[in-house]
């Protein structure tokens, strides 16, 4: 069922209620995002279990110019910080209207991998959005890992057990981001030798990480498996919607920023 269908049904419901009882119709209309959102997410959201991660071919494949500029600049910066590029990939098919381009780099001596990402969402004309960010990943042992990123995008999913994520949404200086990550690693333990990639095929490791993320959401009751797709449960649809709406989103983001500022001061970065 299309989103437009849900919108039409919602409008019809409000109009009918309006003629029955105005005291019910007005709150119903004002609170539409909080009840219509979960319904739309529950029935329209699908995440492929077999998304495509293919090598990006410069001059053949097309990426938005802002994405190319960001990825090239971030790659050059990380090269100067001791990382070795392993390649650029294009990911499609994971979610409808979403395409991602990512560059993976490795610093085996430090036990850390890096990934710079540009995510393009498309929809109605003029409604597309490009989100760019970088993240660093260190595995501490078979059960624990640390990810540090500067993503501006809130996460609506539940945390993955054993995976610590520290988000610095205003920290676009990749040198400071790396220093913060290194300081956090020293605090938490010792990196596994060889880093997260450990000589394995990059695409395979990235795909495994995505599968681990989605499997954790199934275990948490946020998603369920439907054939070749992951789909939100009613619990997941409600929580994912409400976490991205006011006031929950504003409160959560304010907490993330306060924690990021406190951590940077504490780490002396």
Pairing of strands 223-226, 229-232: antiparallel
pLDDT in tens, 102-150: 999 999 999 999 999 999 987 544 446 899 999 999 999 988 999 999 9
Cis peptide before 247 (omega within 30 of 0): yes
Q: Any idea where the domains of the chain sit in the sequence?
A: 3-44, 47-267
What is the spatial distance between Cα 140 and Cα 196, in angstroms, rounded to a whole number? 9
**Residue 254, token pair as written in the block:** 């304010």
Neighbours of 219 (CB within 10 A): 12
Task: Enumerate the H helices of 31-145 as residue ranges.
Answer: 32-44, 65-80
Question: Residue 25 has what pLDDT?
Answer: 64
pLDDT in tens, 12-61: 666 666 666 666 666 767 777 888 889 889 988 999 998 778 998 877 78
Residue 229 is classified by DSSP as: E
Neighbours of 254 (CB within 10 A): 11
pLDDT in tens, 212-224: 999 999 999 999 9
DSSP reduced 3-state for 107: strand
Q: Between 192 and 58, name the one with better pLDDT.
A: 192
Q: Tell me which residue of 2, 163, 175 sits closest to 81, measured CA to CA.
A: 175
Question: Residue 1 has what pLDDT?
Answer: 45
Q: Tell me which residue of 139, 136, 149, 144 sits closest to 198, measured CA to CA.
A: 139
Q: Between 30 and 88, name the one with better pLDDT.
A: 88
Question: Residue 248 region, left (φ>0) first, then alpha (ψ -120 to 50), else beta?
Answer: alpha
Question: Residue 62 has what pLDDT?
Answer: 85
pLDDT average, residue stretch 87-112: 92
- Element containing residue 184 per DSSP (H, E): helix 174-188
What are the beta bridge partners of residue 130?
120
Q: Is the pLDDT of residue 4 over 60?
A: no
Question: Residue 125 has what pLDDT?
Answer: 44
What is the spatial distance between Cα 180 and Cα 264, in angstroms, rounded to a whole number? 7
Percent of all residues in the chain with a pLDDT value above 90, rounded to a whole number:
70
């Amino acid at each position: 069922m299309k989103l437009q269908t849900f919108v039409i049904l919602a409008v019809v419901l409000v109009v009918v209620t309006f003629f029955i009882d105005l005291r019910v119709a007005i709150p119903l209309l004002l609170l539409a995002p909080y009840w219509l959102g979960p319904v739309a997410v529950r029935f329209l959201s699908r995440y492929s279990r077999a998304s495509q991660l293919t090598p990006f071919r410069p001059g053949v494949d097309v990426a938005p110019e802002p994405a190319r500029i960001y990825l090239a600049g971030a790659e050059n910066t990380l090269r100067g910080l001791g990382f070795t590029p392993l390649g650029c990939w294009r990911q499609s098919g994971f979610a409808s209207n979403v395409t991602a381009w990512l560059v993976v780099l490795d610093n085996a001596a430090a036990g850390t991998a890096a990934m710079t990402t540009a995510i393009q969402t498309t929809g109605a004309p003029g409604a597309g959005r490009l989100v760019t960010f970088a993240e660093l990943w260190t595995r501490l042992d078979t059960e624990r890992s640390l990810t540090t990123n500067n993503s501006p995008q809130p996460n609506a999913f539940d945390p993955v057990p054993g995976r610590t994520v520290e988000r610095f949404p205003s920290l676009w200086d990749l040198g400071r981001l790396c220093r913060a990550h290194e300081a956090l690693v020293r605090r938490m333990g010792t990196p596994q030798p060889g880093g997260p990639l450990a000589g394995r095929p990059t695409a395979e490791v990235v795909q495994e990480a995505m599968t681990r993320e989605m499997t954790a959401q199934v275990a948490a009751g946020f998603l369920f498996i439907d054939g070749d797709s992951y789909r939100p449960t009613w619990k997941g649809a409600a929580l994912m919607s409400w976490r991205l709406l006011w006031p929950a989103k504003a409160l959560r983001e304010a907490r993330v920023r306060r924690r990021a500022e406190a951590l940077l001061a504490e780490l002396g970065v």
